[in-house]
Structure 1
Amino acid sequence: MPVSPRRATLATVAASAGVSVATVSKVLNGRSDVAPATRSLVQSMLQRYDYVAPSPRRVEGVGLSTVELQFEPGLNGYSTEIIQGAVGAAAEVGVGVVVSIRGDADRTAAWARGLMNAGRRALIAVTSELTSGQLSALSRARLPLVVIDPLNLPRARITSIGATNFAGGLSATQHLLSLGHRRIAYIGGPATAACNQARLHGYRAAMESEGVPVLPDYVQTGSFRYYDGVAGGSVLLDLPQAPTAIFAGCDEIALGVKEAARERGLRIPEDLSIVGFDDTHLAQMASPPLTTIRQPLREMGRVALRTALRLAAGEKIDSHHVELATELVVRGSTAPASPGV
């Protein structure tokens, strides 16, 4: 039997499975009073028709509309700031936020249906690499999507929230150059990540404007994690001509670089200057406190939440990509280069 391209209804699924609409509803709601064989049959029909339950209507004083805020595995200081911004904005308009960790990316249809059936009004994905299959599943489910700091943008019309990453990379490197450093290296996140590429381009632009060459070994990429900072920092600091300053693509990487320096008996900032990116609470708690590029993470969470709700309400938005301003924050991890270096 061919599957209709139109959106399936409960009646369609029930007729194909040879059961009542009430039985299909019980399966969708996870009720236990359905025979295993019948449940399996209904579930196969739901998958066959790519069934998506209609969004629940919010009744005044009853229930709570929710937005899914989804992260890659491994929450950190960056994630905490985003969550606080999104939750604060949601509380202002009486909307709930459900924080989740992205799991099996292959079950795209079931994943999108699950979000809709759970009553989500929209999805906010943070630093996620979304496949075309996932985007198609969300589109079929009519679930609005907003991406914060996307790792890739497979479609031009995906709504995303970010920061002025190029300007931030430029400012970080210009700061180190103004201190007399010339052997400046960069350690960033995934090589293909849009935000990482922008920060790297900013670094290169600052170096080129001063006529300072970027040595091939001075650029390291990995992930936005502490241990990549340790590993990348170790590689750089073991070079015959080690850098005197390192611009890290995030605060967590910067702390990893500090550990690599400590293991080699190097002092911060006397022997090595370090600049991070994000300005999470980790930057202020570090010893010495970390010079970094402040990314307005809480505001990015707030803007993403408000944008997601506007999309869910069918409103038009002014731009599909919003960039919020970054700012250099000078603390104790940077100092003038030693004379003659």
Structure 2
Amino acid sequence: MPPQLLPASAAAFAPRATSVNVVLGSKVEPWLTQTLKRINRIKRPLNSVPQHQRCLTETLSSPNAIWTLASLMLPKAPDSELRKDSNPLIEAIFNFQLLHLEAYIVHVDMVLRNEVAYKLTPDAIESLIEYHKDIHCVNAKASTYDWSEKDQQCKKLHEDFVQAINKFVFTTHVSALEGLEEDGMGELLSGKSEDVKNAVMNLIKPLLPPPPRIVDVVRQPPLLPSSPANASMWSGPTTPSSLPAPVDSWRVLPSSPASTSADSQASIWASIAMTEVQLPSPTPSYSQPAFSQPYSSAGLYYSSPVVTAPLPHLSLPSMLAPHCGAGYNSFGWDRYQEYTTTM
């Protein structure tokens, strides 16, 4: 698409020019001829391109050549000051106003882009600026939370709108000139007014608060196994209490017919003295020490104590002789097995 060429009168804060820039092609469209004949009170010859260009330029350059692009329904006051009523019609009458977006034509191009350019009148620009400052900014400040630069941000938001609305130029196809009326006035047809409403309302930006600051979470480095016990809350997950604790190999006792656990057996055997255990003594075919050491020489493994019954105290023949009056031969050493079994 060829570049858009606009006159100096279309720039921001530029006054309206005394003459509209009109560029026509080598051939005039029939609809343009019919439109110019309809709006002219005085019959003028329209037999050539220069005649069409002169008639259209004089018509659009008239001070009364004001177009109504669209109409906006805007509130009269901030939300906190609006009137509340059970009747919606009463609320609409007292709380809203109709703002007409009036503009004038600054450029007509029927050669390169086939478009018409409109610029808002100073009165329409001033009305939009007042609405933005007194109503929109007040509602925006009331609907957002406070931060340190809120007033400066709202002021900058209004200044940006003032610049944007003064630079606003609406362009449409040259067929919009079919809505031309007497004295150069007119209005947009074919639903183009809705496009103007959307374009103007898009210039009214919301007040955006700054995003929340991201706070860096300082994580404590992992502690070594030698860390103090009070730092266990930062350590890794602990072993569930439902799992059985590991048992050292030196605590395991040999299998026993008792139904108690290994730890209870160890505590019972440790509490019983050597002299409290009474078991039938084996045949004294060998000599046995009075007690044996319950731990091995290595000191790492536990061995069950060897329980022995005390050997019977046998009286010698020399000790029995004075009492019994019997000699060595009469004592009966050949009956040694009987004494040992009865005792």
- TM bin (shorter chain): under 0.3
Higher normalized strand content (fraction of residues): 1
Bigger radius of gyration, 1 or 2?
2
Q: Relative contact order: is structure 1 or structure 2 higher (C-alpha 8 Å, sep ≥ 6)?
A: 1
TM-score by length of 2: 0.22
TM-score by length of 1: 0.23
